[in-house]
Structure 1
Amino acid sequence: MTQPSSDIILERMMALHPKIIDLTLDRMWRLLAALDHPERNLPPVIHLAGTNGKGSTQAMIRAGLEAMGKVVHAYTSPHLARFHERIRLAGELISEDHLSAVLDTCYGANKGADITYFEITTCAALLAFARCPADYTLLEVGLGGRLDATNVIDRPALTVITPVSIDHEQYLGDTLGKIAFEKAGILKRGVPCVVGPQPDEALDVIERQAARLGVPVMAHGQHWHVHEERGRLVFQDESGLLDLPMAGLPGAHQMQNAGAALAALRHLGATEDACRAAMENVFWPARMQRLRSGPLTEAAPGVELWLDGGHNAAAGLALGAHLARLPERPTHLICGMLNTKDVAGYMAPLAQHAQSLRAVSIPGERATLSAAETAAAARSVGLRAHEAGSVAAALDGIAAEDATARVLICGSLYLAGAVLRENG
């Protein structure tokens, strides 16, 4: 099979900077100037930051806006199976021809200068968005906010900050306050901000930055509320009460994300029907996604197979809470993680809900923990752990023990992407 042109250009882009992450906006400004500033010609931007829930919240906002008949661009990262997933152009994943064209334009305009992979591909996304008419542009922050490559929009229509927790400490700081300061870097003077549920330390920082910039804040617990009542999602803000179906993404934590999405949609003038569609029509892969077909499910037909890409302590808590709500069934984990994560912190909330863990390395990832390292971390929090050479081998081992088990593949979006590619 011939390698797609976009893959060839992306491989070249990987070699333009010695580091994967190098937080500064200088290289972005240089290349955007060479491209005649596409960031100044975007449809109204909704900019999302936060530690957890950015992608799910963005997906719900998109579903609601599209139900209103709006045409929406969306940028997210990382991708799972194909890079094209990062750029949704006027409601559709960017085509191979269009992606290759904007990547090639950016590569040429950069003239071989130092720039990270995320920075130059973000420029490509902005260029694609600027060239195609739409009603809104949804931009998800890659890392942090203040110095993230997406933070080049002078005046977005709205910003959203989803829950902040400890993650990426080596880049963002080792306290909630420091991390929240980086996330609050997307705030722009006078531009309203929807703020999801936050620890007090994080909320204090966000509100302080908002006050300094004259940002109207719509904060969970103050300006909007969301809860479950008799299997329904109840949302209330100053405009009134909404009684809606639960969000189509499994997990109690998705209620918080739904609340932030609904607060954003109401600010943008969404009708009740559009808010309902945001809950009913949303799809976001690898967030407690049930796998019902494909080679992995066919190899273990009696197993209930789930996939999740959460990878930090807060995600572990959310997953543990969701597992506790599922019908009782022996549960086993297949887990692979990066060496930059708090592995024990992630696994500890899962330990009480799982009978065992099979540890795997993440295929093709330089920063993966070895299966032995992941298994050791699992044992440190009380999990019975084994090593496996692959996800398929791990699943075979679990199915041999219990052909009707529940299996959750978890620990990394990169592992989730590998699983989705393997499973077709």
Structure 2
Amino acid sequence: MGANKRPENINITPGSPGLIVPSWLRPLTILRVSSWILCSSGVIWQIVSVSKIYFEYTTRVDINITVPSRLSMPAISVCLHILYDKKVLSKFYSPPESIPSSLASIPFHILYQLPTSKVKINCTVPNNTYELPKLDPEKGFECENYSPVLVTIHFTEGINLRKCFTYFFRNATTEPFVVHYANAKDFFTVDLISDQNNSVSIFVHNPIEVLLVSDADTFTFHTNSTAALVLSSSKLITKLLPPPYRTGCETYDNELYGRTGCIFKCLKDNARERCGVWPASVPADTWGNFYFISPDGQCDYGREKKDECAQKDICPNQCLNLWYTTTLVSVQKQTDLSNLTRIVVRRPSEVEFTYIYVPKMDKIEYFCFVASCFGIWLGISFIDFLEYIIMLLKGKLDPPKPQIKVLTPTYIYFLRDRPNSLRSIMSIM
């Protein structure tokens, strides 16, 4: 009976041996809680800082400098003046008095039929350029035997129209022609044969696009004063990242001329919506029924809208860009009455630069940083997670074990105000 007697008149004062202090007020517990708060704050701060860098999707640029053994063949465009010929125009206009006085008001499919400056163009590649596939193996090394010639019509200053012949043009979905660096000194040679003085414009450019004459690195000369032009072409490559990265590039695989084609399409849509003409800043197709200036002269679409269409929200940057730069190496003046002007485009002899945009922080780097945060601040490693998972699985697989309660006098004392709980415990005993 004495063992089961309920204790009475027990007074516990602070400092006495029987004082029970709550666990959260113990010094060691306070230190642990403070450390846990500090470490948790450190983990959150570091993860937020790292995530800010990663989820802003910023980029960095890696620059590769190489001496290429294989070179991409650029394109070359030769542009000649379109001549106003009433005899040809009378075939399309009746009566002859209805013929527009300006070439800019004549539809493109008719302009294509008009003659140009009397200059014969003969474009050839070196005889030892065997790696290029020919359209007709039986024919020679003429440029048109490697790729069909693209003809476009260009509006230039002073309402002059030029017909441009582009060699080695490639669609955006096809790779540029590739040649071996050591096989030859030149990309190609263009001979211009003319019986009289004519103005000719040429420019070397990216093979997947055709720029306007006034927008390209154009060289304009007269045949009676120029015997030879030696040009050197160099290429710079940029590789951007698609969204969500800030470069936000597009591939433009299905767009003629790539991003330039997107800008041209925007300009054409705006011009047609305005008054049904073709924009002066876009090379024209030779089969179209449009014109640069309406026949009544009331409507034309100049070049002032080009910057609007070049905005990134309308035409984002292109993921793969080939930037060609043309340098004039030498000019030889005509010293005799020769009717030949030779243009030579040299292969680059210097290094090639490639600017590759990569994530400022890649996925693997981000996850490594996050994992290191838990290791530095909380001392948690992958092994800890693995052990926790094993224990979790083991607890689910093993049957639960009966729990044994150990009753102490202190525990019984604090249950004195709960008769039901104390009675149930006593019944077990």
- TM-score range normalised by the length of the shorter chain: under 0.3
Which has the greater radius of gyration?
A: 2
Where relative contact order (Cα < 8 A, 6+ residues apart) is larger, the structure is 2
* Higher strand proportion: 2
- TM-score, normalised by the number of residues in structure 2: 0.20
Structure with the higher fraction of residues in helix conformation: 1
